[in-house]
Amino acid sequence: MANSRARFDVSYLPGITPIALAGVLFLYAPLAVLVFYSFSAGDVLGHWEGFSWRWYSSALNNDLIRDAAGRSLLVAFIAASVGTVVATAAGLATTRSTTFKARKWIYLIISQPLMVPEIVLAVALLILFALIRSATGISGLGYMIAAHTTFCIPFAYMPIRARLEGMNTNIEAAAADLYAGPFVIFRRVTLPLLLPGIISGFMLAFVISLDDVVISQFVKSAGQETLPTYMLGQLRRGISPEVYAVSSMMLTLSVVLVTGFFLLSNKRD
């Protein structure tokens, strides 16, 4: 009787196909327009005047853009690296330690920044860093790196924890039965199996940091423009086709990293 029962197929729901297509169009049509007009040779926005690499060349030769891009990449790399290390340690503590009673609280604390509005976190970090600057007199790029690391940790933690929960613990138990110590088990067994999750977490954290504008705008000091905050400043003065080119390059980098994250997160053990 159960075998003869028809399986539910969402594609047969009335109107599901046009709704899905409309959703995809709504998401990707603006991006397609952005990329299309970034290759326009003219100065007038929204008016095609022939194919050209003019604005890409102009953006790549702009010292302010290169400086902001370099700073964004540096901050994103350091923040994602530190965040991934912390997330890996937290993932191991919350999935491999059965006697660690605080593991549920750690999971809750790490996940909390995902629920808090970004503007709230930005204001909180601004106040905290202002107090530290006032007390120590120290300033610099470290505040922005610390801020980015703070919100990168949850994004790195999620794929790492998911990978750990999907791993077969019998392999680690077998290594322990063969008198391997905890460090050897981690280095020779756990880490190789966990590596796709670590790389996925790093790439996701890197993209989140690279694209952030709200927290960067609040915590940055004078002369510490990142690429998103630089573009925001340019948009306030008037949209330039150069911004189209920069946005398209950032989009390409984000698509490459997110695609890599998707492929790694779906890799079989």
Mean pLDDT of all residues in the chain?
82
Q: How confident is the model at residue 169 (pLDDT cuts 50, 70, 90)?
A: confident
pLDDT per residue over 207-233, tens digit each?
A: 899 888 899 989 888 788 888 888 888
Contact present, 46 and 38 (Cβ < 8 Å): no
Does this model's pTM top 0.85? My answer is: no
Distance CA 122, CA 56 (A): 32
* Amino acid 7: pLDDT: 67
**C-alpha of 144 from chain center:** 16
Greatest mean pLDDT among 72-81, 109-118, 234-243 lies in: 72-81
Q: How confident is the model at residue 269 (pLDDT cuts 50, 70, 90)?
A: very low
pLDDT per residue over 119-154, tens digit each?
A: 888 999 999 999 998 888 888 888 999 999 988 999
Contact present, 54 and 41 (Cβ < 8 Å): yes
* Amino acid 115: pLDDT: 82
* Amino acid 78: pLDDT: 95
Contact present, 91 and 160 (Cβ < 8 Å): yes
In this structure, of 6-15, 43-52, 206-215, the range with the lowest mean pLDDT score is: 6-15
* Rg value, the chain, Cα: 23
* Amino acid 139: pLDDT: 82
Q: How confident is the model at residue 265 (pLDDT cuts 50, 70, 90)?
A: low
The length of the chain, given as a count of residues:
269
* Amino acid 79: pLDDT: 94
Residue 242 CA neighbour count, 13 Å, CB half: 18
CATH code at 63-265:
1.10.3720.10
* Domains in the chain: boundaries: 14-52, 63-265
Q: How confident is the model at residue 250 (pLDDT cuts 50, 70, 90)?
A: confident
Nearest to 206 by CA among 217, 195, 198, 194: 198
Phi, psi of 93 (to 5 degrees): -65, -35
